[in-house]
Structure 1
Amino acid sequence: MRVHLQLAERPDQATTAAREAAAMGADGVFTFEGRHDVFFPLVVAAADTDLDLMTNVAIAGPRSPLHLAHSAYDLQVLSSGRFRLGLGSQIRPHIEKRYGATWGRPAARMADTIGAISAIFDAWEGKSPLDFRGEFVTHTLMTPNFDPGPNPFGPPPVLLGALGPIMTRTAAEFASGLLVMPFNSTRHLIERTLPAVDEGLRRSGRTRADFSIIGQAMVAVGADEAGLRAAIDGVAMLIAFYGSTPAYRPVLEAEGWGDLQPQLNSLSKVGAFAEMRALITDEMVATIGVVGTPGECAEELRARFAGFTSEVCCYFPHYSARPDDVAELVAALHDHDRSRTPR
């Protein structure tokens, strides 16, 4: 199983972080759009390592498809073909109040964005003139002064992060791959995510062999009791944060915890974060996250994602995972693959 680790958000810290990820045996690094720009750290990492690179995710709604296409094209060149553009939609309050952009029909908008990016790439590759006329965006002008020409490494794949059935179906219908949301559980994946993937692929006339699925998980890893307790607390804090959002309630409902979501939401509105954390039990952490020693976490990751992906993005939220523990986790996932290779 290929393993991707989160890269430091600040670009001035990206070189050291990328080298550390490589030293721990990671196959790639990804960026999250939080306190800093999602693309800049990857520019630094592209020049300094041979790791795979991915935005996970760049928020698509407030950005023009042309801006996204240019950023993706240039990162594909800088990395010699090791970049994938991961997109996400975000929720309404953030789109309207944080980004100052327009919200509405997010899955349809995302399909439009992916279609526009593909049309722009095709124009640059010389496959067809630019003539994309979607419901939300139109791109019909590409003069030579603004056309970078064919990418020497080919256009990068476009992935979509999704949780709900409509967005997941959209990913499978229009994108190159799905970034499974880290707030998830094995039951939710099997009962809700994979059927939506299969429906989207059916609509696009593709099969799972034509489509990438990348697993993601919040990992609480610790080789000893003290380290593991700190890790569980860190993951529980992020579960509480995610769980407060109505869009994430289906995961809780799948496990019989749906009534927890409005409680977390009410507490979040008054900043009662400690009280939110207190509502998250160790059972919830072990069900939604992945918990244990490096070896135990590797086994759980393989069990959760077996049969439909050979890649996983590991998050270590709100705690400092020990480098030795992370390296052991990565090695355990790699060793499993090598042990199955015919001799």
Structure 2
Amino acid sequence: MKVFTALYGPVDAVERARALRDAGASGVATFEGQHDVFAPLTLAATVGGLDLMTNVAIAFPRNPIHLAHQANDHQLLSGGRFFLGLGTQIRPQIEKRFGAQFEHPVARMTELIAALRAIFEAWETGGRLDFRGDYYRHTLMTPTFSPGPNPYGPPPIYVGALGPRLTRATAEHADGLLVMPFGTKRFLHDATMPAVRDGLRAGGRRAEDLAVIPEIIVSAGSDPADHAATRRLLAFYGSTPAYRPVLAAHGWEGLQPELNAMSKQGRWQEMGELIDDEVLHTIAACGTPKEIAAHIRDRVDGVSDTVCLYQPSPIGLQTLSEILDELRELR
């Protein structure tokens, strides 16, 4: 099993990437948080033996040309080991934090993928760039600004998705699906994968044409106190209406409006108390390295041989190494 794990800010990115590789990780991934999503990967590209992935770069505030150049450069720096993971985020974040447009996110993301492919093709072939869509328009690429063919080929385009419409569109158009971390085995198999199959059929594609990478929240430790941060994280996710379908799959949909009301009151610490053990252990892989590995294997069996570990707080390297060893033992 290939395992991506988190690379945080750029300050110690090289040292952490090297340590994660030596612990047995297959790749490192960054997310759009307190630091730029690309900068740590620029540094980690100097460390051999690791795949690199944005999981995810928020797409709509960025222009496709900017994204194409960043992805192409990281594909060069890494020797063909870069994966461009894109995400939509939610309307308040896009409109209020980024000051960008969010309307029609599925159609916008689908067109963004097409725009990126058109840009990559123009660079690869030297042909004319002539992309005209509803949201993006690119009709000029002079030789001065074209990097030319990438010796490793264009970087693959992955999309993070949860809802059925974006999941179907991703399966129809993208190279890979990044399954959101707030999820469960039931939701993955009963909601996500049927939408994937629908999208593949619509695109005339085969299962092997799409990589599916579930991201799983991991919480190590045998003491209940070890999982307090994970409970707060699940409460934060659960307060968002977009994640209500995951809770509804288990009959927990009433939890979402309760958490949402508490979030609007600023009761962030208290919200974690509503995440009981059943919710915690269904959504997150918790416990010893052996228990965590068993949860991961059970969830993704028949779906994927690659996962991304989401850590509410960084897992110690020794514990991470033990988790990876256990995953290999369960093969």
Show the counterpart of 1:238: 233
Deviation (angstroms), 1:336: 3.1
Q: Is the Cα–Cα contact under 8 Å of residues 201 and 207 in structure 1 kept in the other structure?
A: yes
1:96 is the counterpart of 2:90: no
Show the counterpart of 2:330: 336
Secondary structure of 2:46 counterpart: helix
**Higher mean Cα deviation, 202-211 or 327-336?**
327-336
TM-score scaled by length of structure 2? 0.97
CA distance in 2, matches of 1:332, 1:295: 6
1:85 is the counterpart of 2:84: yes
Q: How does 1:242-321 map to 2 (within 5 A)?
A: 242-317=237-312, 319-321=313-315
Deviations 1:182-236 (CA, angstroms, capped at 9, x unpaired)? 10011111111001101111111001111100011001122xx33xx34422221
1:324 is the counterpart of 2:318: yes
CA distance in 2, matches of 1:116, 1:79: 23
Alignment length (residue pairs): 331
CA distance in 2, matches of 1:195, 1:303: 18
Show the counterpart of 2:135: 136
Q: Is the Cα–Cα contact under 8 Å of residues 18 and 49 in structure 1 kept in the other structure?
A: no
CA distance in 2, matches of 1:127, 1:330: 44
Deviation (angstroms), 1:325: 1.3
TM-score scaled by length of structure 1? 0.94
Deviation (angstroms), 1:320: 4.2
CA distance in 1, matches of 2:80, 2:225: 38
1:208 is the counterpart of 2:229: no
Structure 1's consecutive aligned runs of 4 or more residues displaced over 4 angstroms after TM superposition are: none
CA distance in 2, matches of 1:177, 1:231: 33
Q: Which 5+ residue runs of structure 2 have no aligned equivalent?
A: none
Q: What letter is aligned with 2:256?
A: Q
Deviations 1:42-65 (CA, angstroms, capped at 9, x unpaired)? 000001332100000000000001
1:74 is the counterpart of 2:52: no
Q: Is the Cα–Cα contact under 8 Å of residues 126 and 148 in structure 2 kept in the other structure?
A: no
CA distance in 2, matches of 1:237, 1:121: 41
Deviation (angstroms), 1:128: 4.1
Q: Which 5+ residue runs of structure 1 have no aligned equivalent?
A: 338-343
Show the counterpart of 1:122: 121
Secondary structure of 2:100 counterpart: coil
Q: What letter is aligned with 2:163?
A: G
Q: What letter is aligned with 1:113?
A: L
Deviation (angstroms), 1:17: 1.5
Cα RMSD for the two superposed structures:
1.2
